[in-house]
Amino acid sequence: MAKESLFEGALRQFNKAADLLKLDGGMREVLSTHKRELTVHFPVKMDDGSVRVFTGYRFQHNITRGPAKGGIRYHPNVSEDEIKTLSFLMTWKCAVAGIPFGGSKGGIKVDPTELSESELERLSRRYFSEISIIVGPTEDVPAPDVNTNGKIMSWFLDTYSMNVGHSTLGIVTGKPLELGGSLGRSEATGRGVSIIANEASKYFLGDEIKGKTVAVQGFGNVGSFTALILEQTYGAKVVAISDITGGYYNPEGINVKEAFDYATANKSLEGYNKAQKITNEELLELDVDVLIPAALERAITAENADKVRAKIIVEAANGPTTPEADEILNSKGIKIVPDFLSNSGGVTVSYFEWVQGLYSYFWDLENVRSALEKIMKGAFKDSVDMLEEQKTDMRTASYMVAINKVATATRLRGIFP
């Protein structure tokens, strides 16, 4: 039997929610079909004078509620299936948060660590020139993702602006502050996950996350800020963290700021001696109140789901739980807050950045954080209301909220001509 693709898995979860919404066949087809799928093959001159051809993608799933929005990743495993799935999920992420964007995603199949700085710049500029036929501040607004950052967004901004003849701050988000970036953007996804984790604790466990045990798998941007904010702002007891070097567990609690500074100075957690070394797999099986998978897709599968003991899972990574694992966890009574709800803080502050860029009027950090908290809490409440109304699981409820918003917008706009 052929292995289910990422997109097939996402469609299965979409259809579960669509069934409960009693979505008709035509609307279901519209909402499950991508509007545009662009694949580009482009040459880049290398430092030694040779030329290599790279493959890149930019997929737009749905733009009914506004411009498409989604990151661009550089990774050797970038594939059509991955980009197709992530652009699909971005539609629901924007909709569940109430952000007036649709979903898109892009990427280049490349290992950026093998490129020099100048090769990386030429690759980035050529790729952005290639996809510029479908992107723009009112059409599709890219952002950083895996292995891309503010520097690369700056090259994208400059490439687009040079081609149109004027600076266009709204063309990408995740930019440096000096080029129209937003305060609070680097912490945004982690802060959003933290807000949702606290709301989930209040709803499912009866009170705030203060003093409750938390394990965070992944200590990149999202995982590290999530752990830091949960500890410092919400008073949670973070007992385990991990990165590519393995897991680090201390039942008495980890000083996350200390671990954060250590990882920043040493480029990883390798050698961190204030906690017991465990594997990433063992971290997932710890007996904690809240588990936050913030690393890679498919971390929790049918093979290990039965060993998970957390009361709540708040998905910070994209697609960390397979559909099969979902069923096992739900049968055990473990509450799962889906990725496209819990990690929507990043796209929310990207939306703020886009608005600031269009107006050339920039907010202070307090305004960014306050507006983010309001949106995240509202999105969680909408999903909980649907959960209670439909007597279903949280993922399906969040899908139903998002799908209903896009379906309603589609009906209101009608089919042209």
Q: What does 57-79 look like in DSSP terms, one character per residue?
A: EEEEEE-SSSSEEEEEEEETT--
Domain co-membership, 171 together with 188: no
How confident is the model at residue 59, as a pLDDT?
A: 98
Asked if residue 2 has pLDDT above 80, the reply is no
Active site residue 105: yes
Domain co-membership, 200 together with 232: yes
Q: In this structure, how many other beta carbons lie within 10 angstroms of the beta carbon of residue 99?
A: 21
Domain co-membership, 191 together with 173: no
Whether residue 7 lies inside any domain: the answer is no
* SS3 call for 61: strand
Tell me how far apart the alpha carbons of residues 403 and 19 are, in angstroms, rounded to a whole number.
11
- pLDDT band for position 401 (cuts 50, 70, 90): very high
Inter-residue contact 294 to 316 (CB < 8 Å): yes
Domain co-membership, 109 together with 218: no
CA proximity to 290, closest of 349, 337, 353: 337
Domain span at residue 51 reads 34-178
Domain co-membership, 384 together with 319: yes
Inter-residue contact 105 to 59 (CB < 8 Å): yes
What average pLDDT does the segment 230-243 reach?
A: 98
How confident is the model at residue 318, as a pLDDT?
A: 87
pTM score? 0.95
How confident is the model at residue 297, as a pLDDT?
A: 83
How confident is the model at residue 388, as a pLDDT?
A: 97
Q: In this structure, how many other beta carbons lie within 10 angstroms of the beta carbon of residue 4?
A: 14
How confident is the model at residue 3, as a pLDDT?
A: 80
Catalytic entry in 84, 93, 105, 175:
105
How confident is the model at residue 1, as a pLDDT?
A: 61
Domain boundary pick from 149, 178, 207: 178
Asked if residue 150 has pLDDT above 70, the reply is yes
The position carrying tokens 């200590």 is 219
Domain co-membership, 396 together with 297: yes
Whether residue 3 lies inside any domain: the answer is no
Asked if residue 343 has pLDDT above 70, the reply is yes
Domain co-membership, 220 together with 337: yes
Number of domains in the chain: 2
Asked if residue 216 has pLDDT above 70, the reply is yes
Domain co-membership, 128 together with 231: no
Domain co-membership, 147 together with 79: yes
What's the whole-number average pLDDT of the chain? 96
Q: What is the pLDDT of residues 11-61, one digit of tens each?
A: 999 999 999 999 999 999 999 999 999 999 999 999 999 999 999 999 999
CATH code assigned at 52: 3.40.50.10860
Domain co-membership, 228 together with 251: yes
Domain boundary pick from 178, 205, 224: 178
Out of 47-51, 321-325, 342-346, least confident range: 321-325
Asked if residue 369 has pLDDT above 70, the reply is yes
Whether residue 409 lies inside any domain: the answer is yes
Domain co-membership, 159 together with 193: no
Domain boundary pick from 129, 160, 178: 178
Q: What is the pLDDT of residues 55-66, one digit of tens each?
A: 999 999 999 999
Whether residue 153 lies inside any domain: the answer is yes
